[in-house]
Amino acid sequence: MQFEKYHGLGNDFIIFNYKDLMANNIKEENFPDLAVKVCDRHTGIGADGMMVLVEKEDRCQMIFINSDGSIVSMCGNGIRCFSNYIYNNKILDGTTYKVETLAGLLSLDISPDEKFNVKVDMGKPLLDPVSIPMSTSKEKFINEEIVVDGKVYKVSALLMGVPHAVIFVDNLENIDLVEVGKTIENHPLFPQKTNVNFVQILDVDEILVDTWERGAGHTLACGTGSCASVVMGELLGYLSSKVIVHLTLGDLIIEVKDEVYMTGPSEFIAKGEYKYK
Ligand SMILES: N[C@H](CCC[C@H](N)C(=O)O)C(=O)O
């Protein structure tokens, strides 16, 4: 099957077209197994996740699957890569794309410059535990304490398309991201697990974010996680409503208005033929 590989600030994805998968007799029930195999960085192509594009009348649908095979509703860096694929393959016209996801219908404004910057309306965050979801009787879960290996972490949780836990720290270098991230990802408070974002504030409009992703592990960037971090920082009075998020390979601009807007680049890496066994 024909694939294309893209990355959004190092968060990398393999994209297939649904029609091509069907033509190769790949059933939807095989998508999770295909994702695990194609995302393997030794025996596959290698990626943090896989996306399948379904062409529709005036929009496209994005099916997103983590590298562990879990199907989830949304991916911020992924949807910018997805729009790059749409543009390159001339699937939709114009420079505003509508993309259907399990988190809802999203609107993307593309500027096909050399960095292919895209502004995505990421929708509204949800803070009620039922929506996230969380197993707690609290009305909101903000700056609540979770103990990991004897250390107390102040955790704030929200749904930004997908579940996110946000932890503000003095210095990212002092955090055992893998250990703490993995523990909170799988904490009983999160019945569908969660992504975990560690945030270091540089200024009211400038932060560093490092993310342990549900179903994908430590990634170089997380778009929904960057949005979640700014939403929570603004809510707590730490941040302004427009923030530069510094990630390993570059920056995202996050604006919290009526909805949350994310602007950032994506890059085509390769295309080719993948043999699914
Ligand atoms: N990397 C993605 C997040 C994927 C979310 C996925 N890890 C999950 O919620 O299970 C992003 O840029 O928003």
Question: What's the pLDDT tens digit per position in 193-204?
Answer: 999 999 999 999
39 is an active site residue: no
Q: What six digits make up the tokens of 212?
A: 């342990």
Q: Tell me the CA–centroid distance for residue 50 and ligand 1, in Å.
A: 11
- Other beta carbons within 10 angstroms of residue 54's beta carbon come to 14
Instruction: State pLDDT tens for residues 149-194.
Output: 999 999 999 999 999 999 999 999 999 999 999 999 999 999 999 9
Q: Residue 188: is the preceding peptide bond cis (ω within 30°)?
A: no
Please indicate whether residue 223, judged by its CB atom, sits closer than 6 Å to ligand 1.
yes
Nearest Cα neighbor of 186 from 219, 163, 168 is 163
Q: Which member of 60, 81, 222, 227 is catalytic?
A: 222
- Note the pLDDT of residue 269: 98
What integer pLDDT is reported at residue 113 of this predicted model? 85
Which pLDDT belongs to residue 236? Answer: 98
| Residue 171 assigned ligand-binding role | no
Q: Does the C-beta of 224 come closer than 6 Å to ligand 1?
A: yes
Residues in the chain with pLDDT values less than 70: none
The pTM (predicted TM-score) of the whole model is 0.97
- Position 114 scores a pLDDT of 87
194 among annotated binding-site residues: no
Q: Which domains, from first to last, does the chain contain? A: 2-121+264-273 (3.10.310.10), 144-257 (3.10.310.10)
